[in-house]
Chain A
Amino acid sequence: MIYIKKLHKHYGNNKVLNDVNLAFSPGEIHGIVGENGAGKTTLFRAISGMENFKGTVKYTEGKIKDSIGFLPTNPYFLSKITGKEYLQLLCNARNIKISDFEEKNIFDLPLSQYAETYSTGMKKKLALTGVLLQKNDIFILDEPFNGVDIYSNIIINQVLTKLKELNKIVVLSSHIFSTLYETCDYLHYLKNGSIVKSVGKPQFEIIEKEMQSSGVGVKIDKLNL
């Protein structure tokens, strides 16, 4: 179980997260939604320990950092490193021994090629494969469906279902509501750094409508297109 209490984060005078309180249980999939810049990625980085913050993030089963598999929105790959070497690095970092990476290559990626030459979707799939091989108990997935093809989307959905069965804690973000409807048990609406609403599956529609109504302030005319 993860408890997040009174989490605050600011960069200078800019408040990014404001009094965030959440709880994630094993076997649950939580979705965090919000507009661009609402603070989703900062929240994920704070939970995983990549950002300093005020407040508490408590994991009841031990050291949270070493149990988290974190998938960033845009995974960064070092130049001149192959897909296989990236996976090896992630496994070494958690002391996981794998002899045959091809066998674990569920997305059929060209593992002997440099990862920097992969397409956006392939990079995402490689990064996801890496965190899955680490045998983590917690998965924080920042927009896992972004840039990924339909076939891979199905695989990711199946992976999420499997993680739920295995009693893992999964927290993800997405701007595609249909995927959230399919995968999540709970949705949390993050607005201007605060959680303004948390709902269970039957009430997902409320958040979707609220987001649609608040995001319509479009000012295209100002561009004089």
Chain B
Amino acid sequence: MRYYYQLQYKRIYRIFKDFGTEPFIGYPLIIVLFCWISSSFFDKVLYANYIYVMISIVFAYTLSNTEHARFLKQHFSAINYQKIIVYNNLLKVAPFVMFLIYKMCFIEALLACFLTFSISFANKKNKISITIPTPFGKRPPDFIVGFRKTFWLFLLIYGVAFVTVYKDNFNLGIFSLVSVFFVCSSYYLKPDPKFYIWVHAMNSREFLKHKILIAFRNSFVLALPILITLSIFYLDQWYITLFFLCMGFLYMMMYLLMKYSFQNQGMEMFQGIIGVLCLLFPPIMVIAIPYFYNKAINNLDQLLK
């Protein structure tokens, strides 16, 4: 078990190196960014302590890789396997717990630890044989894969849109609209295997245009029920709805461009940080989008010559 954690440390070290950052700079930078983002979150979000606990659990759960767990199960004894799973999950949730303690939210910190401990005994299954239907079959794969993984979130989001009308709270409607784009942006977190890019008979610019158009069209389809609701009940505030729709498109485009900027560099965490930064301060996108576009073109040129 000790060697396993030494290997994990080496892997993290190599991720920083691959990104071109010296780990002794990367580690403190990540810690500072995490504290800053968490702090902003607590300042700006209502009931932040509860949502923060939820985010920490989702983070620990989604980051646990089924294949990795299977590998551990095959090669470690049953007791050591369970220990590693518990330790790994507690390590993932530790920064959140420490921040909760710093914020004097002791009960929430305990709750996060308890829930993390509990989910460590849940079996995560990733191969469900039931094929979930999607409206995106003609244009695979991003939205097909993403929608099948997150369809339950749309039930919640549309539920919030319903509450918007019921409670007559326009802001909730905007929140649900933004949530659609936030979820859709997550479809662009994982880099494509080289083959899935190479196979396209397009140059880099055509490829990006093709991908962006699909992203816009499909996210619009998912946002449509909310847009219709807001158009019917809050027509007088159409310009606010339109503003957030455009921001949503921009936000998603940035994620898509980031994905191809860091193709095969495993930069999900970096994408996540920039994504949150842009949420907190959207004008960053004015610089970020052209920068990532050029970087993506350079990257794709290697495969789509």
Interface residues of A (CB under 8 A from B): 48-50, 52, 65-66, 70, 72, 75-76, 78-82, 84-86, 88-90, 92-95, 112-114, 116-117
> Which stretch (B48-56, B104-112, B124-132, B283-291) binds chain A?
B124-132
Q: Is B225 close to A, CB under 8 A?
A: no
Task: Flag if B140 contacts A81 (CB, 8 Å).
Answer: yes
Task: Find B140's partner among A75, A92, A117 (CB 8 Å cutoff).
Answer: A92
Given contacts A52-B302, A117-B129, contact A93 B137 (CB under 8 A): no
Q: Is B282 close to A, CB under 8 A?
A: no
Task: Flag if B141 contacts A66 (CB, 8 Å).
Answer: no
Given contacts A88-B137, A92-B140, A94-B201, contact A82 B131 (CB under 8 A): yes
Task: Flag if A72 contacts B195 (CB, 8 Å).
Answer: yes
Within 8 A of A (CB), among B107-160: 126-129, 131-132, 137-141, 144-145, 148-149
Task: Flag if B129 contacts A76 (CB, 8 Å).
Answer: no
Task: Flag if A89 contacts B145 (CB, 8 Å).
Answer: no
Task: Flag if A86 contacts B198 (CB, 8 Å).
Answer: no
Given contacts A112-B131, A114-B129, contact A90 B145 (CB under 8 A): no
Q: Is B303 close to A, CB under 8 A?
A: yes
Q: How far is the CA of A116 from the CA of B140 in the complex (A)?
A: 15
Q: Which residues of A contact B305 (CB under 8 A)?
A: 49, 65
Task: Flag if B137 contacts A80 (CB, 8 Å).
Answer: no
Q: Which residues of B contact A52 (CB under 8 A)?
A: 302
Q: Which residues of B contact A112 (CB under 8 A)?
A: 131
Q: How far is the CA of A80 from the CA of B193 in the complex (A)?
A: 15
Interface residues of B (CB under 8 A from A): 126-129, 131-132, 137-141, 144-145, 148-149, 193-196, 198-201, 302-305
Closest CB-CB distance, B133 to chain A, in whole Å?
10
Q: Which residues of A contact B139 (CB under 8 A)?
A: 92
Task: Across the interface, name the chain B residue whose C-beta is closest to A75.
Answer: B195
Q: Which residues of A contact B127 (CB under 8 A)?
A: 114, 116-117
Given contacts A52-B302, A65-B305, A117-B127, contact A93 B144 (CB under 8 A): no
11 interchain pairs, CB-CB under 8 A? A48-B198, A50-B194, A65-B305, A66-B201, A78-B141, A78-B193, A79-B126, A80-B132, A85-B141, A95-B201, A113-B131
Q: Which residues of B contact A93 (CB under 8 A)?
A: 199-201
Q: Which residues of B contact A80 (CB under 8 A)?
A: 132, 144-145, 148-149
Task: Flag if B131 contacts A90 (CB, 8 Å).
Answer: no
Q: How far is the CA of A66 from the CA of B199 in the complex (A)?
A: 8
Q: Which residues of B contact A50 (CB under 8 A)?
A: 194-195, 198, 303
Task: Flag if B199 contacts A90 (CB, 8 Å).
Answer: yes
Task: Across the interface, name the chain A residue whose C-beta is closest to B137.
Answer: A85
Task: Flag if A49 contacts B303 (CB, 8 Å).
Answer: yes
Closest CB-CB distance, B201 to chain A, in whole Å?
4
Task: Find B196's partner among A78, A85, A88, A116 (CB 8 Å cutoff).
Answer: A78
Q: Which residues of A contact B304 (CB under 8 A)?
A: 65
Closest CB-CB distance, A153 to chain B, in whole Å?
24
Given contacts A70-B195, A86-B140, A94-B201, contact A114 B126 (CB under 8 A): no
Q: How far is the CA of A114 from the CA of B144 in the complex (A)?
A: 11
Q: How far is the CA of A158 from the CA of B303 in the complex (A)?
A: 32
Q: Which residues of A contact B132 (CB under 8 A)?
A: 80
Q: How far is the CA of A129 from the CA of B12 in the complex (A)?
A: 39
Most-contacted residue by chain B among A66, A90, A93, A112 (CB, 10 A): A93
Q: How far is the CA of A93 from the CA of B139 in the complex (A)?
A: 10
Not counting A65-B198, A70-B198, A114-B127, a sample of 17 additional A-B residue pairs whose C-beta atoms are within 8 angstroms of each other reads A48-B198, A50-B195, A50-B303, A52-B302, A65-B305, A75-B195, A78-B193, A82-B131, A88-B137, A89-B140, A92-B140, A93-B201, A94-B199, A94-B201, A113-B129, A114-B128, A116-B127
Q: How far is the CA of A93 from the CA of B214 in the complex (A)?
A: 13
Task: Across the interface, name the chain A residue whose C-beta is closest to B142.
Answer: A78
